[in-house]
């Protein structure tokens, strides 16, 4: 995890195992309690599996509940955007980018 005054970047190394999503979500919640206003989750260079998509949606919901910006990074941002669009519900969608730098520069 990397952090500045208002943002936190969480980098996922490798595919998510069955018990990884709750750990990742708790880490995001902890950072939001520490006053992060933007959470960037970098899923790394690998292909995203079903656990990553479910986790992305869950993290977006956690961020929305705390009125924080959620940005997701993937080598396949179009696929991630499509996967999260239907599950994001009413209101804003998570920001999706192909790099951490791009995610940090996106406006909510």
Which residues, given as ranges, of the chain have pLDDT below 70?
A: 1-5, 86-92, 108
> Contact 48/74 with Cβ under 8 angstroms?
yes
What is the 3 state secondary structure string of 54-108? Answer: HHHHHHHHHHHHCCCEEEEECCCHHHHHHHHHCCCCCCCCCEEECCHHHHHHCCC
Quick one: CA dihedral 43, 46, 47, 50, positive or negative? negative
Q: Among positive and negative, which fits the CA dihedral 43, 97, 31, 50?
A: negative
Q: Do the Cβ atoms of 24 and 55 come closer than 8 Å?
A: yes
Provide the pLDDT for residue 98. Answer: 92
50 three-state secondary structure: helix
CA-based nearest residue to 60, from 38, 45, 75, 82: 38
Predicted confidence at residue 107, as pLDDT, reads 72
The pLDDT value recorded for residue 4 is 63
Measured distance CA(89)–CA(36) in Å, rounded: 23
How is domain 2-98 classified at the CATH fold level?
Answer: Transcription Regulator spoIIAA (3.30.750)
β-pairing, 95-97 vs 69-73, is parallel
- pLDDT of amino acid 2: 61
């Amino acid at each position: 995890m990397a952090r500045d005054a208002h943002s936190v970047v969480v980098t996922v190394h490798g595919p998510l195992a069955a018990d990884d999503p709750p750990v990742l979500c708790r880490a995001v919640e902890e950072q939001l309690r520490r006053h992060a206003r933007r959470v960037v989750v970098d899923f790394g260079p690998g292909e995203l599996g079903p656990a990553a998509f479910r986790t992305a949606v869950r993290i977006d919901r956690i961020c929305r509940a705390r009125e924080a910006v959620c940005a997701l990074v993937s080598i396949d941002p179009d696929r991630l955007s499509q996967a999260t669009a239907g599950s994001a519900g009413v209101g804003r969608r998570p920001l999706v980018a192909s790099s951490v730098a791009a995610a940090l520069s996106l406006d909510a």
